[in-house]
Amino acid sequence: MIKISFKGIPGFNVMASMLAHKPRLVILAACCLAIVLGFLAFTGVKETKNIKKSLIASDLSKAKNSPEDKDVGVLVGSVDTKTYVSRIEKQYYDIASRQDSSEAHLGQLEKDIAILRKNQSEVSKIVMDLDKRVTIALSESMNLGKSGSQENQEGSGEGILGNSLSGITPVKPAMRLEMAKVNEINEEANAEKKRYVYLPLGSFVKGTLLTGVYAPVNVNNPLPVLISVDEAFYGPNNTRVPLKGAFAIGKAIGDVVSKRAIIQIVGFSIVLPGGNTFEHEGNLGYLTDETGRLGIPGELIYNTGKQLSLSFLSGFLAGGAEALSQAQTTSVVGAYGQTSQNVTGNTGNYAMFSGLANSAQGMASYYQKQLEAMIPAIKIEAGTKVTLVIQKGVEIEGLKASVDDFDYVD
In terms of domains, do 284 and 204 share one? yes
Q: Which amino acid, one-letter code, is at 114?
A: A
Q: Is 37 helix (H, G, I), strand (E, B) or coil?
A: helix
In a domain, residue 275? The reply is yes
Q: How many whole angstroms separate alpha carbon 258 and alpha carbon 287? A: 15
Q: Which amino acid, one-letter code, is at 49?
A: K
Inter-residue contact 376 to 275 (CB < 8 Å): no
* pTM to 2 decimal places: 0.44
- On average, the pLDDT of the chain sits at 75
In a domain, residue 54? The reply is no
Residue among 311, 328, 408, 320 at smallest CA distance from 365? 311
Inter-residue contact 410 to 320 (CB < 8 Å): no
Q: How many whole angstroms separate alpha carbon 210 and alpha carbon 250? A: 11
**Parent domain of 264:** 196-300+378-397
- Which pLDDT score, from 0 to 100, does residue 381 have? 93
In a domain, residue 348? The reply is yes
DSSP state of 347: H
Q: Is 280 helix (H, G, I), strand (E, B) or coil?
A: strand
- Which pLDDT score, from 0 to 100, does residue 398 have? 79
In terms of domains, do 272 and 347 share one? no
Q: Beta strands of 77-222 (E only): which ranges? A: 196-199, 204-209, 213-216
In a domain, residue 60? The reply is no
In terms of domains, do 292 and 382 share one? yes
In a domain, residue 38? The reply is no
Q: Please calculate the CA angle 270-276-280 and round it to the nearest 5 degrees.
A: 45
If you compute the radius of gyration of the chain from its CA atoms, what whole number of angstroms results?
65
Q: Is 32 helix (H, G, I), strand (E, B) or coil?
A: helix
Q: How many whole angstroms separate alpha carbon 305 and alpha carbon 312? A: 11
What's the average pLDDT block by block, 10 residues per block, for the chain (410 residues)? 51 57 72 79 69 70 52 47 81 86 87 86 83 82 66 49 43 44 49 70 94 89 93 91 92 92 94 87 92 92 70 76 76 72 73 80 76 81 94 86 54
The residue count for the chain:
410
Q: Which amino acid, one-letter code, is at 62?
A: K
Residue 237: which CATH number?
2.40.128.260
In terms of domains, do 280 and 388 share one? yes
Residue among 134, 157, 133, 132 at smallest CA distance from 147? 157
Helix (H) or strand (E) holding 223: strand 223-229
Q: In what order do the strands lie in the sheet with 299-301?
A: 213-216, 377-380, 299-301
- Which pLDDT score, from 0 to 100, does residue 224 have? 94
Helix (H) or strand (E) holding 309: helix 305-326
In terms of domains, do 277 and 392 share one? yes
DSSP state of 405: G
Strand-strand pairing, 329-333 and 299-301: unpaired
In terms of domains, do 354 and 366 share one? yes
Inter-residue contact 378 to 250 (CB < 8 Å): no
In terms of domains, do 233 and 275 share one? yes
In terms of domains, do 369 and 276 share one? no
Side-chain-side CA neighbours of residue 19 (13 Å): 11
Q: How many whole angstroms separate alpha carbon 318 and alpha carbon 272? A: 67
In a domain, residue 217? The reply is yes
Q: Is 44 helix (H, G, I), strand (E, B) or coil?
A: helix
In terms of domains, do 256 and 387 share one? yes
Q: Is 239 helix (H, G, I), strand (E, B) or coil?
A: strand
In a domain, residue 153? The reply is no
In a domain, residue 311? The reply is yes
Q: How many domains does the chain have?
A: 2
- Which pLDDT score, from 0 to 100, does residue 175 have? 44
In terms of domains, do 295 and 318 share one? no
The neighbouring-strand residues paired with 206 are 387
Q: Is 253 helix (H, G, I), strand (E, B) or coil?
A: strand
Phi, psi of 268 (to 5 degrees): -145, 135
Residue 289 Cα distances to 207, 246, 272, 344, angstroms: 10, 19, 28, 71
In terms of domains, do 326 and 290 share one? no
In terms of domains, do 383 and 315 share one? no
The neighbouring-strand residues paired with 248 are 227, 268
